[in-house]
């Protein structure tokens, strides 16, 4: 058989008759990366500190919510003739939602009624009434019209109060009231009712996440990608980047839950920032807001800086559209008198906002609040000192395979959680 191979042939030589394998390709091997984010992702791991490694699947934080002297009277009732100095108050005890079924206030406690400016003392609650003397068990009595119950005990959830001055109480419907504590008579024996206090516990679960790459032995060792990094390296690099984003988005939007057991292997989910914020959440309509700065400063005063146990500086993670609307609120400040030369630069990029009282918030654009979604109008106020990462496996990776397999396998895993120490220090303004 003839093995000699000359390929001379007649005809015009053109780009369609030449051997395409011999043609040099004009390829720019610089890789242009297209990300879904307009700016680098601002992640929570950049702002929250690191705590200890978790010692169990559930991490707990201990909180103490101090007693609030402010209460609210949602309604009141008057008594019969001759009882003009007295009223029956319904006190909401809002700061004690889990224990307000029992009236905390006791005879001889005092209140300032903000609506009228008068000071009153408690003379009766559901358990006791004011004693009429030091060496007697006699108690004050009132009409059942006033008490709502018996002559010596008030209706549950109410107190009967009396003006400390010899004058009638001024009428009001509802009012803030301020607790002034207990005032006793000269050399009075000890009769105060004891009070007990408890801590508040919050928790989060340790979540375990993973991602894998699997490639055949031939693809890894024998297939060369023209002009770019080896395929295994590229797959590994991009897998790690995507996996990191998954952890960060979980820290932002995940919800706490102990999953059902599958073959006695429960799945645990950690709570992210969005679901951790339960107290300070405000809604607004970005289209119908007339004064954006006024709306924002009210949000900061009422919720963003409502609780500040450590300091007066916080961080605002904002969507792109929120930042635009915020800057447009100050459009009059970007005018210049001279638009020649270097004065041609216009615009405004406000990154720090201060409200009365020395409270300061640093505004940062976050691509976790993605453009062209409803989240672009959101704003998270976070106190970096009131949350910390607790990580057990910090993006650990390892190769693995079965003895009978030739495929290359890489696994990357992360295991950890976030301790939300005081969710009341964070806030969310959303649509």
- What pLDDT score was predicted for residue 429? 98
- What pLDDT score was predicted for residue 347? 65
**Residues contacting 251, CB < 8 A, separation 6+:** 43, 44, 45, 270, 272, 273, 418
Q: Is the pLDDT of residue 330 over 90?
A: no
- What pLDDT score was predicted for residue 345? 61
Q: Is the pLDDT of residue 227 over 80?
A: no
Q: Where are the alpha helices (DSSP H) in 262-331?
A: 273-276, 292-299, 320-328
Tell me the residue length of the chain. Answer: 431
Please give the structure tokens belonging to residue 255.
Answer: 């919800």
Please give the structure tokens belonging to residue 243.
Answer: 């996996």
- What pLDDT score was predicted for residue 13? 83
Q: Taking residues 258-274, what's their average pLDDT? A: 89
Q: Taking residues 221-233, what's their average pLDDT? A: 82
Q: Taking residues 207-217, what's their average pLDDT? A: 95
- What pLDDT score was predicted for residue 140? 95
**Residues contacting 383, CB < 8 A, separation 6+:** 308, 310, 314, 422, 425, 426
- The angle, 0 to 180 degrees and rounded to 10, between the axes of the packed helices 292-299 and 320-328 is 120
CA distances from 72 to 76, 91, 190 (A): 11, 6, 29
- What pLDDT score was predicted for residue 35? 82
Please indicate whether residue 134 or residue 175 has the higher confidence score (pLDDT).
Answer: 175
**Residues contacting 310, CB < 8 A, separation 6+:** 383, 385, 386
* Confidence grade of residue 355 (pLDDT, cut at 50, 70, 90): very high
Task: Give the model confidence (pLDDT) of 277-287 as tens digits.
Answer: 999 999 999 99
Domains of the chain, residue spans: 30-64+199-332+350-431, 70-182
Task: Give the model confidence (pLDDT) of 53-77 as tens digits.
Answer: 999 999 999 999 999 999 999 999 9
Q: Is the pLDDT of residue 343 over 70?
A: no
Q: Is the pLDDT of residue 337 over 60?
A: no
- What pLDDT score was predicted for residue 230? 87
Lowest mean pLDDT among 6-10, 136-140, 211-215, 236-240: 6-10
Please indicate whether residue 342 or residue 349 has the higher confidence score (pLDDT).
Answer: 349
Please indicate whether residue 107 or residue 3 has the higher confidence score (pLDDT).
Answer: 107
- 61 strand-pairing partners: 202
**Residues contacting 9, CB < 8 A, separation 6+:** none
Please give the structure tokens belonging to residue 332.
Answer: 């009059």
CATH node for 30-64+199-332+350-431: 3.90.1690
Other C-beta atoms lying within 10 Å of the C-beta of residue 34: 4
Best CA proximity match to 279, nearest among 97, 104, 431, 418: 97
Lowest mean pLDDT among 27-41, 213-227, 242-256, 333-347: 333-347
Q: Taking residues 77-101, what's their average pLDDT? A: 93
Please give the structure tokens belonging to residue 122.
Answer: 């408690």
Q: Taking residues 138-154, what's their average pLDDT? A: 95
Distance CA(345)–CA(328), nearest Å, equals 16
Mean pLDDT value across the chain: 90
Q: For a pLDDT cut of 90, what percent of the chain falls above it?
A: 68
Most confident of 81-85, 257-261, 327-331: 81-85
């Amino acid at each position: 058989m003839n093995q000699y191979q000359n390929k001379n042939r007649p005809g015009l030589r053109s780009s369609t008759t030449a051997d395409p394998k011999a043609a040099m390709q004009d390829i720019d091997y610089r890789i242009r990366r297209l990300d879904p984010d307009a700016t680098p992702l601002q992640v929570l791991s950049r702002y929250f500190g690191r705590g200890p490694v978790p010692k169990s699947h559930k991490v707990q934080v201990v909180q103490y919510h101090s007693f609030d002297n402010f209460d609210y009277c949602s309604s009141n009732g008057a008594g019969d003739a001759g009882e003009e100095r007295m009223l029956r108050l319904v006190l909401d005890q809002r700061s004690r939602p889990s224990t307000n079924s029992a009236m905390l206030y006791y005879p001889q406690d005092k209140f300032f009624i903000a609506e009228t400016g008068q000071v009153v003392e408690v003379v009766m609650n559901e358990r006791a009434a004011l004693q009429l003397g030091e060496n007697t068990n006699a108690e004050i009595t009132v009409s059942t019209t006033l008490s709502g119950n018996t002559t010596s005990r008030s209706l549950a959830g109410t107190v009967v109060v009396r003006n400390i001055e010899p004058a009638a109480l001024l009428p009001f419907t509802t009012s803030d009231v301020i607790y002034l504590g207990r005032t006793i008579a000269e050399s009075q024996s000890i009769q105060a009712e004891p009070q007990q206090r408890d801590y508040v516990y919050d928790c989060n679960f340790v979540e375990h996440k993973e991602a894998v790459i699997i490639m055949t032995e031939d693809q890894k060792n024998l297939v060369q990608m023209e002009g770019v990094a080896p395929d295994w390296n590229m797959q590994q690099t991009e897998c790690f980047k995507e996996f990191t984003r998954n952890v960060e988005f979980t820290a932002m939007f995940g919800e706490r839950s102990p999953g059902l057991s599958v073959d006695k292997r429960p799945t645990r989910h950690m709570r992210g920032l969005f679901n951790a914020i339960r107290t300070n959440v405000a809604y607004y309509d970005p289209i119908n807001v007339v004064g954006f700065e006024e709306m924002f400063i009210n949000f900061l005063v009422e919720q963003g800086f409502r609780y500040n146990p450590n300091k007066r500086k916080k961080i605002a993670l904002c969507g792109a559209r929120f930042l635009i609307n915020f800057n447009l609120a100050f459009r009059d400040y970007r005018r210049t008198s001279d638009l020649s030369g270097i004065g041609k630069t216009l615009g405004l990029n406000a990154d720090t906002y201060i409200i009365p009282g020395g409270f300061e918030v640093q505004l940062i654009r976050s691509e976790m609040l993605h453009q062209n979604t409803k989240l672009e109008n959101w704003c998270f106020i976070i106190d970096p000192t009131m949350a910390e990462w607790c990580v057990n496996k910090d993006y650990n990776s390892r190769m693995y395979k079965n003895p009978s397999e030739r495929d290359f396998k890489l696994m990357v895993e992360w295991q950890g959680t976030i301790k939300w120490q005081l969710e009341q220090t964070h806030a969310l303004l959303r649509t």
